[in-house]
Structure 1
Amino acid sequence: MYTTSTGLAAWLRERPLVSDALLAALLTLAALPIALGIDVAPADGFPPPTPLSVALVVIGCAATALRRLRPFTALCVSEAAFGVLSITGYSQSLAGFAVLIMIYTVAAHRGLAIGVLALAVDQLVYLTVIVTTGGTGIVLVDVFASLVTLTVWMVGRSVRLRRAYLAELRDRAERLERAREADTRAARAEERSRIARELHDVVAHHVSVMTVQAAAARRILTSNPEGAKEALAAIEEMGRTAMAEMRNIVGVLRTDDHAAPAERGPQPGLHELPALVEQMREAGLTTQLWIEGEPRPLPPGIDLAAYRLVQEGLTNTLRHAGPSARAWVTIRHEPGEFSVCVEDDGPGPGNGAKTGGTGHGLVGIRERVALYGGILKIGPRPGGGFEVRARFPLKDGR
């Protein structure tokens, strides 16, 4: 039963003309006995009803069928019917109640200007009736009638303001939801960009080292089988390391709730630079590491950015600087600043591959450094070779 009534109420709310027509029909049916004099006592002092008086009662009550479609027009019709009935002395039946319904409707569904105009029309009709008929002779009755009308009008205005307030809340909630979705999409795009940079750094570094080791193994395969075996073992170990790092990075993209959780490990940082330098030495690149100043903990983002910068710089040196090149990595801790520099003395391949600056690796390094307010310099060294240098500002001495 509850579901049926709820469905009927919702159906009527979606069809206001139907519900208003039902209200008008019920109001008219309730007013007819009084209009026809059936429920009117002779002591009430009303003259016998006429077809005109009955028609006016019906018109005044039936006008409520248009209360939400044309509320001000319906109010004027009800006011006219009520005024004529009052001036001619016939029973108003429920026409006065219909006027109150229309006063409430105009105040609840139209703006303030129309609402004030409706209230003025009602008071004007009431004053006209009082002046024409001499009123009831009791001032308190007239004041009470005006107060009832004003109260109904204020209730309608309150309903309208509350409806507007709720609509604003819903609109604000929708805007916040759209903003949240936009922020989520932006965060996902940023996360995809970060993962792409991480994947590029991992793949470019390890594949470059593996390529160099494979080339060395091929050259010495017949003349130095033991050396070739060591190079192949290094390739195997490098491949496993690369797969482990890629699994950790790509693991955040897994969306299967029933799948096993992805392995988690700390992001690489400066504490892994000795191992990185040793990898490059094993790949055939003479590499040295200097740490200047007193080492102190860095923000995780800067720590990762510095490590990736060194990794990208050494990888580019291994690719392009030539077989006889040497590389230097300098880490400098200073008050309020941290800097990292990767230099080499290689002549390069002679085609400007190192200085183009358009590869994904260098673009990723620029983004990382800029993200933390750092300054990046990439280009040839004054004495020959190539350098990648970055300075990061540190807050509160960190």
Structure 2
Amino acid sequence: MKYTNEAIRLLELNTQGFYNTANPQEITDLVNNLSEYKVLMDYFATKSQWTGRPGMGMEKTVIENLEKRRVLEQKIREMGKKIITTAEAISKQEHRNLRKILKTSQNVLITSIVLFSLIGIVIGQILSRMIVRPLTQLEKIMEEIADGRFVKVEIRSKDREIVSLTDAFNRMLHELELRKRYLVQSEKLASLGTLLSGVAHELNNPLSNISSSSQILMEEIEEDDLKYKKELLSQIEEQTGRAKKIVRSLLEFSRDRAFKKEQIPLKNLFDETLQFLKGQVPTKIEVALDIPENITIFADKQKIQQAFLNLIKNAVESIADQGKVLIRARRHLAGNECNDTETGIYKYRRYGEDCTRKQDSVNIIIRDTGAGIPPEILPKIFDPFFTTKEVGKGSGLGLAIVHDIIEEHHGCIGVESKIGQGTTFLIRLPVKEI
């Protein structure tokens, strides 16, 4: 009875909840069955005495009461069975509902995970475009700048911080470019100062000839030897032209002008460059040219001359006493691969670009028989401010400037050296605009 009352009470308290869980008709039947079961149990409890009063017909009464009890018990059992069946049906329905809820929850969870993953990917892509990708591009550009190539930073981004950072880097690059130009000009002026003694020596010869011819002419001006006088005047004109040519070349080299490429005969360029260095080359050092007359390069004369001047000057300075500097040039036809010697030379380049070109180019070799460069130093020789000379005797900018000039002409430069056997620089330059 206690459990029946408790079951009825719970059903009455949570009627709506049970209706949501199971079939409303089943809940109604369960309530009715429990109520009827309670009535039967109450009735069964009140009829605890199933025997009749003593006297006549007592046996018959007992039999009738026992029969009623049996019938009542049967009804109670049947009602209990109905209650159990209904409860089991409700329980199964609840289990089905729970499984359905779990399945729905599982689907919602999976859908949520997929949805959040997609949202995460989208957010990641957005962040990548806004922040990560620009920073990666900036990192690559910084690597190029660290290698000496001042490439303008161009990063498209709507992020204010990235834009500000890009602008700051571009301002820094502009300042570095200005300072680099200043250093290049300073190095050129330093080279110019070194050349002045040689140029003075070269100018002294034609000026001496002019002076001698003028004196002779003045002494013999009264004589009638007109042919001899014309020869003297011709010598004066020739030596004056020679001096003018030297001065003009010197002025062209020293003038700071805009970068302008043109077709230049290579042999004439080296002849003029060697003219500058004539006073700087000791008599025991031979400088030999092996350049065909028909070879030309497409370059800025002033800058490429500065590069060749630095390389030849370094080659001469590397020879302690007696030796030779060979300057050779050959055409490199389109599609031809580098030979073994060239491959070895190009091993020590500042960058790893391929020097085998698809268009025609010119290979220029400057080889000396000097002391050579130690192998541990060789990879660093193109770095700015790197020098093995004593303090005050070298800025460490010469070869760095040479490399930048060659690269500015879309060429490449490599070096090979062995201690005691000398050094070879190989330059490859285009013969036309790229």
Q: TM-score, normalised by structure 1?
A: 0.36
Structure (1/2) with the larger helix percentage: 1
Q: TM-score, normalised by structure 2?
A: 0.34
Greater radius of gyration (CA): 2
